[in-house]
Amino acid sequence: MKYRYWKFNRKGTWYVEDAVTGKQESLRTSDEKEAEQLRHAKNEATRDRALSLALGRAYLGAHDPKMAKRTWADVMAEMSNHGEQTTQDRCRRAMRSKPFDRIRHQQLVEATAKDLLDVLRSGTSSTNHFLRRLHNLAIDLGWLPWVVLAPKLWPKIEAKPKRSITHDEHVRIVSDDENLERSLYYEVLWEIGASQSDGAKLTAENVDWCTGRMAYIRSKTKTNCTLEIGQRLKAILKQLPPYGLLFPNIARVPAKDRAGEFRRRCRRLGIKGVTLHSYRYAWAERAETCGYPERYSQQALGHASKAVHRAYGRHAQVTLPSLEEYEQACTERKIIPIRRQNGDAVGMSRVNVRRR
């Protein structure tokens, strides 16, 4: 009988060589008897793949009786129970999408790279994201004993382009809405850049009129956000209830329904490419355009990473002031270098002088 795999020893470690492809692979053992068993198993696997799968199930069943029976639906159900309630709801909605029907009732041990690639090709970037999470969760739980699709083979996630809402679009939406509470809700989102859920949950207790500040806890990150109340925001808050929820009706509506109402309003007005989350993009771009310090923008938006904040404000159009203006400003002030004791200049000090 002609065998496909042959073993050989190299520096005390046993290897096998594929007679068809010439590929060499370490058996990770120095015991010849163990190496012979592994080589024999590889040869048997190439002779009868159906028998090999049956034997594999038998061995896996000895380790975990349920491993050979679990399907991708079990992993989907487990993932839908992780995280906050909003995260769980989002996972359940994603798992109901049609691309996942290809593997929903398939046993985990029967999954191949082609099966996952078929799901990816029939879905969107959201499918790519949630399938990665399913695959990784199955491995982390020990339900999937091997990596089905190597990390480098996963297609790159390419999200749809997102943009901020413009001031003109915001004014059109607010002017068209006859519901005063909803109009003021959009106005608050425009002024503070909060997420739609954080904005809907604001209460009168979040507003401190004595200090002129608003403070609230972000639902997603559980971090605190404190900001001063400007004149425009003050005028808006004066129209809202003095106690309890600022938007009692909107707070009772699920996030998906708030988003759906906003989408229908934009469709009626002919506004495309914006969502309620676009108010956060708009806030970041406005902050970047007017030179608002980046660390303040990070605190307001709730992002600790500069890269994340720059992604929010990547479409901002910043016009640099002319050098001539700065040259003229220099003539109005006296520049004094600050020096160390050894005479090296370490900075400049500006002292205003009067023009005669």
Tens-digit pLDDT profile for residues 37-95: 888 887 777 665 555 555 555 555 555 567 778 899 999 999 999 888 878 888 999 99
Radius of gyration of the chain (CA): 31
Distance between CA 177 and CA 239 in Å, rounded? Answer: 16
Please name which of 218, 242, 216 lies closest in space to residue 227, comparing C-alpha atoms: 216
- φ/ψ region of 186 (left if φ > 0, alpha if ψ in -120 to 50, else beta) reads alpha
Does 186 score more than 80 pLDDT? yes
Q: Which long-range contacts (CB under 8 A, 24 or more apart) does 31-35 make?
A: 35/7
> What residue ranges do the domains of the chain occupy?
5-63, 72-153, 167-312, 323-352
Alpha carbon distances (Å) from 42 to 19, 22, 39: 12, 15, 5
Residue with tokens 């929010």, as numbered in its chain: 312
Which pLDDT value is given to residue 157?
76
Strands 224-228 and 213-217: antiparallel
Q: Which residues have a Cβ under 8 Å from the Cβ of 314 and sit 6 or more positions away? A: none
Alpha helices by DSSP H, 196-338: 196-200, 231-237, 248-251, 255-269, 278-289, 294-301, 306-312, 323-330
Residue 199 near residue 189, CB atoms below 8 Å: yes
Q: How does DSSP assign 14-79, residue by residue?
A: EEEEETTT--EEE-----HHHHHHHHHHHHHHHH-HHHHHHHHHHHHHHH-TTTTT-BHHHHHHHH
Which pLDDT value is given to residue 266?
93
Give the other-Cβ count within 10 Å of 296's Cβ. 11
Is the domain spanning 167-312 CATH 3.40.50.1170? The answer is: no
Residue 163 near residue 279, CB atoms below 8 Å: no
- Give the pLDDT confidence of 294-325 residue by residue, as tens digits: 777 887 887 665 556 666 666 666 565 656 66
- Give the pLDDT confidence of 245-281 residue by residue, as tens digits: 999 999 999 888 999 999 999 999 999 989 999 999 8
- Give the pLDDT confidence of 193-215 residue by residue, as tens digits: 888 999 999 999 999 999 999 99
Q: Quick one: tokens of 61? A: 């069943």
Distance between CA 166 and CA 278 in Å, rounded? Answer: 9
Does 338 score more than 70 pLDDT? no
What percent of the chain stands above pLDDT 70? 78
pTM listed for this prediction: 0.63
Distance between CA 169 and CA 156 in Å, rounded? Answer: 33
Q: Which residues have a Cβ under 8 Å from the Cβ of 239 and sit 6 or more positions away? A: 180, 184
Please give the DSSP secondary-structure letter assigned to residue 26. Answer: E
Residue range 271-292: mean pLDDT, rounded: 87
Distance between CA 265 and CA 257 in Å, rounded? Answer: 12
Q: Which residues have a Cβ under 8 Å from the Cβ of 335 and sit 6 or more positions away? A: 348, 349, 350
Distance between CA 202 and CA 246 in Å, rounded? Answer: 6
More confident residue, 338 or 266: 266
